[in-house]
Each structure stands twice: as C-alpha cells, then as structure tokens.
Amino acid sequence: MNMTSDISAPATPLPATTVASRSNPVHARPAIELQDASVIFGKGDQAVTALTPTTLKMERGDFLALVGPSGCGKSTILRLASNLIQPSSGNVLLGGREAAAKELRIGMAFQNPTMLPWRSIEKNVMLPLKIVEPFKRTFQRDRKGAYRDRVHALLEQVGLKDFAGHFPWQLSGGMLQRANLCRALIHDPDLLLLDEPFGALDQFTREELWQVLQDLYLDRQPTVLLVTHDLREAGFLARRICVMSARPGRVISDRAVTMPQPRDISVIYSPDFVEMTQGLRELIAQIRK
C-alpha cells in the first residue's frame, strides 16, 4: 500500500502548510530512508506487529516530527533509525547505506534524561567524545583541554554553565533535559533522534526548551527526527510533520510546516498555527476511532 499523504488528506486545507513534495531530491542521498520496513516482535502466536511495512524518507538537514496516538510505532521508527533494532522486513538506510554501516553519526535523547549518576554533568556530556570516532582517538589527550572547552561552550549555550561539576541528582528535570540535549549534540551528529524529550516537563519548561532546541538546530543544522505526542511542539519545531495511524502503525499523512524559522513562541497562538494543530488533532482523533 502506498503510504503517501494522498491517502488521508486533512478535512480542511491548511493555509500555512503544504503537502510535502516527494519527487524533489535536493540531496542525492537522503539521511534516513525506510523502504517497506516492518517490525514484528516475537514469533508465532506471540508475534506483535509494532510497525507495518512503512516507507519514509528524510532529506539531510530536515526537521521531521512524528506524531500519532500512543503505541502507534513512533518510537519503533526511531529505534530503527538508531540501529537499536533491526527491521523484520524491508530496509533501513542511513545516508544511503545500511544502518549498521554507521555512515552517519547519531545523537539520541530519550524522554528519560538517562544521565549516568556516577558522572558529573560535564563528564556525562563528554561521554560521546569517548565513544565516537574520530573524537575517541584523541580522548585521553583532549579530555582536559579541547573537549572540556567544547563541553563548556555547549553547556553555556543551554544555560548550564555553572552546573558542569554538579551530579545529575542535583539538577531539576528541565536542567537534566538540557544536559541530555547537549550530550546528544556534543559529537556533532548528522542525525539527531529525539524520543519525546520534553514529555515529562511542565509547560513553561517545555516551551523554554523548544527554543533551546530550535536555536541548537538552526545553529548546527543536523537532520532531526522528533517523536512527540505534543502537536504544538511538532508545529513549533518541525519543518515537516508525519502523522501515524494507531497500531500497527503506518504513516498516513505527511505535510510541511512552511512558517519561517526561527519561530517565536508566540507563533503557537497565531490563527494559522492553531488551525494547523486543530487539523492534526482531528486527524488523530479520527484514526483513534
């Protein structure tokens, strides 16, 4: 079955958005490409389909938000892209090659900040530099010099300058997510994968971090795949929004968000924005039935 946007057009045309063009490859090799990728957990009678064959393509430098009801396979797509799980059928290509080939550098942040409790914030953020090539080659030499400065510069950018030496349990949830974003970005990933990173935060902290993330994105231009259930978050941050159907999941709507970036937080109260999120909401309400 074809998974493009024409299956389920929004009830009313949305003025601020256009349907994403699929036949205009600006870059020769897309950052992420799912080719009829499906995921089935377990075997025989116990088998659970987490994702029906899905095709999805993301150009480099794009910011795509995946939204949909819970359990629809959003996180499954993210785990496919991060090579944490393998597709049961079909292919997952990163930068035009098999995910296992590590063609792209990946940074990932989950809803749970997953800071290692025995490391200070600075050392937590520095962790990718210890693991990822080519940084790990000079880790022993640079960890107290260049890498340290690099970590401090990034921490300063998200307002955590004074907390580098603190331990995770000394920080609030919002601060931990800032540090989490830093850790996901410190090694300049080509691909940033975010799994509901702000889901556990209060509204004010969340909006603050949207802006932090937007600044980091515009500054570094990685390819971002954001899984979220917050439609305003998707609309504020993304350049493209894909809606997934309830389990087993597949992409049923794919649209661009054309508002220029950087966007101000007040944009979420503008009529165009409200109309767009309203449209998405109705679409998701329909698929939940």
Partner 1 sequence: MTETNKIRSMSFSLILGFFLMWEVLCIMLNVSDLILPRPSEIAVTLWTRFPVLWPHILQTLYSTLTGFSLGVIIGVSIGVLIGTSRVAYGVAYPLLVGFSSIPKVAVVPIFVLWFGSGTTPAILTAMVICVFPIVVNISTGLATTEPDLEDVLKTLGASKSEILWNVGLPRTMPYFFASLKVAITLSFVGAVLSETVASNRGIGNVMMTASSNFQVSLVFAGLIVLALMGVALYAFFSFLESRVTGWATRGNDIAVT
Q: What angle do CA 258, 261, 265 make, to 5 degrees?
A: 105
Binding of partner 1 at residue 101 (CB under 8 A)? no
Nearer to partner 1, 100 or 218 (CB): 100
Does 108 contact partner 1 by CB under 8 A? Answer: yes
Compare residues 15 and 165 and give the one whose CB is closer to partner 1. Answer: 165
218/86 Cα distance (integer angstroms): 31
Q: Which residue has the tokens 């942040």?
A: 109
| Region binding partner 1 by CB under 8 A among candidate stretches 35-43, 104-112, 268-276, 279-287 | 104-112
Whether the Cβ atoms of residue 198 and residue 180 lie closer than 8 Å to each other: no
Our CB check for partner 1 shows the closer of 169 and 269 to be: 169
Q: Is 269 helix (H, G, I), strand (E, B) or coil?
A: helix
- Selected range binding partner 1 among 54-62, 160-168, 214-222, 223-231, rule: CB under 8 A: 160-168
Q: Which of 220, 288 has the CB closer to partner 1?
A: 220
DSSP string, 104-132: S-EEEE-SS----TTS-HHHHHHHHHHHS
Piece of 142-150, 152-160, 163-171, 207-215 that binds partner 1 (CB under 8 A): 163-171
Alpha-carbon torsion (21, 27, 32, 38), positive or negative: positive
Give the contact letters, 183-202, x = binds to partner 1 (CB under 8 A), - = no.
x---x-----x---------
* Part in contact with partner 1 (CB under 8 A); list of ranges 141-149, 159-167, 207-215, 239-247: 159-167
For partner 1, which residue of 4, 12, 18, 170 counts as binding (CB under 8 A)?
A: 170
Stretch that binds partner 1, among 38-46, 113-121, 154-162, 270-278 (CB under 8 A): 113-121
Give the C-alpha distances (Å, rounded to integers) separating 93 from 208, 244, 264.
33, 20, 34
Q: Which of 55, 83, 88, 270 binds partner 1 (CB under 8 A)?
A: 83
Per CB under 8 A, the segment of 23-31, 114-122, 223-231, 238-246 that binds partner 1 is 114-122
Q: Tokens 């515009």 appear where?
A: 218
- Is 118 a binding residue for partner 1 by CB under 8 A? The answer is yes
Tell me whether strands 89-94 and 32-41 are parallel, antiparallel or unpaired.
antiparallel
> In sequence order, what are the residues at sequence separation of 6 or more whose Cβ sits closer than 8 angstroms to the Cβ of residue 191?
31, 32, 81, 94, 104, 105, 106, 107, 222, 223, 224, 225
Binding mask 216-255 for partner 1 (x = CB under 8 A): ----------------------------------------
Smaller CB separation from partner 1, 127 or 287:
127
End-to-end CA distance of the chain: 21
Say how far apart CA 157 and CA 167 lie, in whole Å: 19
Query: Among 203, 219, 204, which residue's Cα sits nearest to residue 261?
Result: 219
Residues contributing to the site for partner 1 (CB under 8 A): 82-84, 102, 106-108, 110, 112, 114, 116-119, 127-128, 130-132, 165-167, 169-170, 183, 187, 193
